[in-house]
Copies of this chain bind each other. A is one copy, B any other.
Amino acid sequence: MRTIPQQTKQLTTTEAVVLGLLAEGERSGYDLLKRAEASVGHMWSPAKSQLYAILPRLVDGGLARRRAVRQRSRPDKQVYRLTPVGRRALTTWLEQPSPRSWDELLLKIFFGRLVPAAVLLQQLDEYREREEARLEEYRTIEQKIADDPKSRHGYLTLRYGLAFARARLRWLDAAVKELSE
């Protein structure tokens, strides 16, 4: 049995996003920046310098392959393509439980077509619990400060928290429903 080269180290969010975009097909750094801007960029957008730093790293790690493309009327470019190892790293990232933040959860949903719906449902479920706990916490705080005129400003931000915890739970419900079909 041969051992498959493994990325032991965890992907950073930015790396995962780059892999996710690369999963659509062969792309140059410039392409990736444009694509990101128009889609996933609303959730996560790397700086140019960071992107160009990451791409060679992915190649070194065996997650992507580079190919030089000659062009006449444009500057030559390097295009990158996912390797099977890279694709595996991406799905592993997608499967990895307990997203650390909403952004991460959303990214996993965004790139979720690469993975069975059950994986996403699990991610959503885990987050639901956290969100419910948070809502509970906010409600406790609310009862403490609701009518205290001194905490007017704090109360405003708390109301933001309450509204958003509830909205997130509603979205989670809808997402679970949608992905269960």
Contacts and interface: CB of A to CB of B under 8 A. Distances in A.
A52 interface: no
Given A163-B167, A167-B167, A157 B43 contact: yes
Chain A: interface size category:
20 to 34
Interface string A73-104: 00000000000000000000000000000000
A153 B113 contact: yes
A41 B23 CA distance: 37
Nearest to A112: B153
A39 to B, nearest CB: 7
A135 B43 CA distance: 14
Contact of A171 (B110, B138, B159): B159
B170 A156 contact: no
